[in-house]
């Protein structure tokens, strides 16, 4: 684990950058838009919640522009990106933030087994993030490269009692980063993922009281927004300048955000692999995975 110390001077690099963000109406996304605009970025954001989105757009116009977009709908997301590209001629940073948590537990022993459970968490959190990543990669390529930041959760790498579908959906978001970053980095696109722990937004209202009684750490939405900006700016400093503790290239990283601080954990997970998998297994696995990620290798038999 590496504690990443935010260097505010890197925010200068956001000036005039074009950012597409999903889920900007409230909470973390809203705070992220605010911080981006304060630093001169132009943000085109999507959300399903129209009233709070229009309020942000009015307040931060012309730097923030709202486009109604359901992240689970592919053509909505295509139109969100098209709007950004048509208006600004490029896209530099993409942030897949939209997410939901359904607190009715489909694994509750008293739940009606004949009633199909909602899979909306998977549709918005995982499929929505895959859509953002796919379309985002297209526009980042057209702009010569950039940053893709995915918002997962503590539930993206840890057990998380009572939230089975949410946990599965957020593991999927970490999977998008792991599936994409090796081939994206040579295209000058850095893919990183943040995994916030408890953050004071409407998502956590049910557990807030007990959490504070136990004295457990919590993030403000602004802290998590800052962590997103760490990922979006780490590679943009002059002469290799970056945030304290960050290892360049800052790509394929996981930032765990807890108690307002950001910690990089993926490098530690990878470096400890021979310990938990065994030296021999780890070596042969490395060879196989390098082959899969190398140029010219394809799963598509029609390319043989
Ligand atoms: N609050 C936490 O403790 C916490 C912890 C870990 C991860 N996260 C993640 O952070 C992200 C932001 O959540 P938040 O805590 O700010 O909560 P939030 O509910 O305030 O923000 C989520 C935003 O996504 C939007 N949204 C929901 N469904 C959408 C859809 N189908 N299409 C487009 N937009 C949609 C909402 O309208 C809202 O603006 C989510 O991905 C969430 O899973 C939150």
166 is catalytic: yes
The share of the chain scoring above pLDDT 70, in percent, equals 100
Sorting pLDDT into bands at 50, 70 and 90, what band is 295?
confident
Q: Do residue 19 and residue 121 come from a single domain?
A: yes
For tokens 């070596």, the residue is: 283
Q: Do residue 236 and residue 292 come from a single domain?
A: no
What is the DSSP code string of 70-87?
A: -TT-HHHHHHHHHHHHHH
pLDDT of residue 304: 80
For 37-41, 48-52, 202-206, which range has the lowest pLDDT when averaged over its residues?
A: 202-206
Q: Is 219 in the pocket of ligand 1 (CB under 6 A)?
A: no
Determine which residue's CA is closest to atom 37 belonging to ligand 1.
49
Q: Is the separation of the CB atoms in 227 and 196 below 8 Å?
A: yes
Containing structural domain, residue 65: 2-271
Q: Do residue 195 and residue 283 come from a single domain?
A: no
In testing the pocket of ligand 1, which one of 201, 219, 255 has its CB within 8 Å of the most ligand atoms? 201
What is the DSSP code string of 115-133?
A: SPPP-HHIIIIIIHHHHHH
pLDDT of residue 104: 86
Cα(72)–Cα(120) distance, integer angstroms: 9
- Closest ligand 1 atom, CA of 53? 39
Q: Do residue 97 and residue 112 come from a single domain?
A: yes
What is the DSSP code string of 36-72?
A: HHHTT-EEEEEES-HHHHHHHHHHHTTTEEEEE--TT
What does pTM read for this prediction? 0.98
pLDDT of residue 39: 98
Check pLDDT > 90 for residue 280: yes
pLDDT of residue 7: 98
Sorting pLDDT into bands at 50, 70 and 90, what band is 194?
very high
Chain-centroid distance of CA 10 in Å reads 19
In testing the pocket of ligand 1, which one of 50, 73, 100 has its CB within 8 Å of the most ligand atoms? 100
Taking the centre of ligand 1 as the mean of its atom positions, its distance from the CA of residue 107, in whole angstroms, is 22
Q: Do residue 265 and residue 276 come from a single domain?
A: no
Q: Do residue 53 and residue 184 come from a single domain?
A: yes
Q: Do residue 142 and residue 285 come from a single domain?
A: no
What is the DSSP code string of 171-194?
A: HHHHHHHHHHHHHHGGGTEEEEEE
Task: Specify the pairing of strand 93-96 against strand 18-22.
Answer: parallel
- Say which of 42, 53, 139, 170 is annotated catalytic: 170
Q: Is the separation of the CB atoms in 124 and 102 below 8 Å?
A: no
User: In degrees rounded to 5, what are phi and psi of residue 160?
Assistant: -150, 95
Q: Do residue 214 and residue 285 come from a single domain?
A: no
**pLDDT tens-place string over residues 58-101:** 999 999 999 999 999 999 999 999 999 999 999 999 999 999 99
Q: Is 156 in the pocket of ligand 1 (CB under 6 A)?
A: no
- Say which of 152, 169, 227, 262 is annotated catalytic: 152
End-to-end CA gap in the chain: 41
Q: Is 11 in the pocket of ligand 1 (CB under 6 A)?
A: no
Q: Do residue 175 and residue 292 come from a single domain?
A: no
CATH code assigned at 40: 3.40.50.720
- State whether residue 268 is helix, strand or coil: helix
- Say which of 31, 71, 153, 166 is annotated catalytic: 166
- State whether residue 91 is helix, strand or coil: coil
Q: Do residue 256 and residue 159 come from a single domain?
A: yes
Taking the centre of ligand 1 as the mean of its atom positions, its distance from the CA of residue 100, in whole angstroms, is 5
Cα(304)–Cα(297) distance, integer angstroms: 9
Query: What integer is the mean pLDDT of 9-27?
Result: 98
Q: How many domains does the chain have?
A: 2
Q: Do residue 217 and residue 289 come from a single domain?
A: no
The share of the chain scoring above pLDDT 90, in percent, equals 94
Q: Do residue 238 and residue 146 come from a single domain?
A: yes
């Amino acid at each position: 684990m590496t504690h990443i110390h935010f260097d505010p001077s890197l925010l200068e690099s956001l000036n005039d950058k074009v950012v597409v963000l999903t889920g900007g109406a409230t909470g973390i996304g809203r705070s992220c838009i605010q911080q981006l605009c304060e630093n001169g970025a132009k943000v085109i954001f999507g959300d399903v919640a129209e009233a709070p989105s229009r309020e942000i757009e009015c307040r931060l116009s012309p730097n923030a522009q709202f486009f109604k977009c359901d992240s689970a709908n592919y053509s909505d997301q295509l139109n969100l990106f098209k709007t950004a590209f048509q208006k600004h001629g490029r896209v530099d940073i993409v942030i897949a933030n939209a997410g939901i948590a359904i607190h009715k537990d489909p694994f509750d022993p008293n739940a009606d087994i004949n009633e199909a459970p909602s899979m909306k968490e998977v549709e918005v959190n995982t499929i929505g993030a895959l859509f953002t990543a796919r379309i985002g990669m297209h526009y980042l390529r057209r702009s010569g490269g950039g940053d893709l930041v995915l918002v997962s959760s503590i539930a993206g790498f840890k057990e998380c009692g009572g939230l089975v579908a949410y946990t599965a959906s957020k593991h999927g978001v970490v999977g998008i980063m792991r599936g994409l970053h090796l081939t994206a980095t040579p295209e000058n696109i850095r893919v990183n993922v943040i995994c916030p722990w408890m953050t004071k937004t409407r998502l956590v209202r049910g557990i807030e009281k007990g959490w504070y009684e136990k004295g457990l750490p919590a993030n403000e939405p602004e802290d998590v927004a800052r962590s997103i900006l760490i990922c979006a700016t780490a590679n943009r400093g002059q002469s290799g300048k970056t945030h304290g503790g960050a290892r360049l290239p800052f790509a394929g990283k996981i930032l765990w955000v807890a108690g307002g601080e950001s910690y990089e954990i993926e490098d530690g997970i990878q470096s400890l692999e021979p310990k938990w998998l065994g030296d021999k297994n780890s070596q042969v696995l490395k060879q196989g995975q390098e082959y899969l990620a190398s140029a010219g290798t394809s799963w598509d038999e029609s390319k043989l």
